[in-house]
Amino acid sequence: MKPLSSEPTNQMRPFEQSLPMGLLRARESAMKVFRPMLADHNLSEQQWRVLRALSARAEQLDAGELAEKTFLLAPSLSRILASLEKRELIERADDPADQRRSLISLSGNGADLVSRIGPTSEALYRSIEEAFGRDRLKRLLAELSDLAAMELHAVRS
């Protein structure tokens, strides 16, 4: 019979040093700053992500492009779009090139909401820059962009 050991049987890095967990911890820390602002406007994080993505583009987006930009799964995005459309924050139009697709854009109400929230959002970003350091935050965002651009492949044994 093999003796029990207090050492792990695999050679995994400590949980606290896991890249996905570190990214989640950092995301949670950042979102704690923004959640009260979103709650003040009755918006979920995902709804805000959609509004921000739409506000950053002059042209309309189809659902696939929007899902890709916001990192939302299609079923979740469909529910979010239905909610935002009901609140008259977005508009949908048929794609003239493909009637099966709809193109999504901010409505006037949506653009107004984003512009009302914008100054508060920027003030919160400034508070993060002051606490973390503007240059450090700039470097961090560049590093995260580089990491996201890499094609990371799972190694299977």
What's the pLDDT tens digit per position in 67-112?
Answer: 999 999 999 999 999 999 999 999 999 878 887 788 999 999 999 9
Task: Kindly tell me if the per-residue pLDDT of 153 is higher than 80.
Answer: no
pLDDT (mean) for 36-58: 96
Please report the pLDDT score of residue 98 as a whole number: 80
- This prediction has a pTM of 0.83
pLDDT (0 to 100) of residue 28:
96
- The tens digit of pLDDT for each residue in 1-38 reads 555 555 556 788 888 889 999 999 999 999 999 999 99
Residue closest to 55 by CA, chosen among 124, 127, 106, 4: 106
* Domains assigned to the chain: 34-134 (1.10.10.10)
Phi, then psi, of 106 in degrees rounded to 5: -70, 140
Estimate the share of the chain in helix, then strand, then coil, as percent rounded to the nearest 5: 60, 10, 25
pLDDT of 155 higher than 60: no
